[in-house]
Amino acid sequence: MQGSRGQGELFSSALPTGSGLAEILPLQQQQLLEWQGRLHAHQAPLFRREPVQSEQTDLFRTGLSDPAALIDPLALTPLPLNFWRWPESPHCGAAVYLVLDRPTKLDQPLLLYVGETMAANRRWKGEHDCKAYLAAYGEALQQCALKPRLSIRFCTDVPKATRARRALEQRLIQRWLPPFNKETRQRWATPFTAES
């Protein structure tokens, strides 16, 4: 399946339809926990606000803080993923949004996706590739007897100009390496998916 931006289906099977192989190669709970653990190993220090030594320094930065480092996902109000069905949206206007899961076996959440929008109150009402990824991820967790605890959080203290907001989004993606963003999917090769 191709998404609206040409993104591949993250949780689709690379096996031919009707091959029967998908049924005999189910995702194992341990595989999913290991995948979450690898992601957690990178992101947990960021959630704890520890200094990250592996970050590249910006040759031309003049002592200014990285704006992506200033956004604390845990300080943002968590909303259910179906918030867009509410009669009134809690957020309007330009925003950066973050989708998190809070696995019970980990001491920190997992940041799964970072996006930006000009209209926070409308972004999730229509088609969105990440919605399909999250549905498949939730289904994979349930099949492995794990419970998804997904939330979305909006940061509205962002630039109104699209180019600047997208630059912030890219800095956040580079910092957190969320697995559902197209820029980082190959890094987090998962045992339960293959890109087509």
Q: Determine the structural domain holding residue 92 and report its residue range.
A: 26-48+69-176
Judge whether 188 lies within some domain: no
6 belongs to a structural domain:
no
Task: Report if residue 11 sits inside a domain.
Answer: no
What's the CA gap between 196 and 181, in Å, rounded?
Answer: 15
The answer to which of 100-104, 111-115, 130-134, 146-150 has the lowest mean pLDDT is 130-134
Residue 110 lies in a domain: yes
Tell me, yes or no, whether 3 lies in a domain: no
Instruction: Give me the number of domains the chain comprises.
Output: 1
Q: Looking at the predicted structure, is the pLDDT value of residue 99 above 70?
A: yes
Q: Does residue 19 sit within a domain?
A: no
Amino acid at 135: A
CB 103 within 8 A of CB 150: no
From the list 117, 102, 118, the residue with the least C-alpha distance to 151 is 102
Residue with tokens 């289904």: 139
Spatial contact of 101 and 110, defined as CB atoms under 8 Å apart: yes
For residue 192, being part of any structural domain is answered with no
The predicted-structure confidence for 120-172, as pLDDT tens digits, reads as follows: 777 677 777 788 888 889 989 999 999 999 999 999 999 999 999 999 999 99
Query: Is residue 195, in this structure, part of any structural domain at all?
Result: no
Residue whose structure tokens are 């999250």: 134
pTM here?
A: 0.79
Q: What is the pLDDT of residues 61-82, one digit of tens each?
A: 544 578 899 999 999 999 998 8
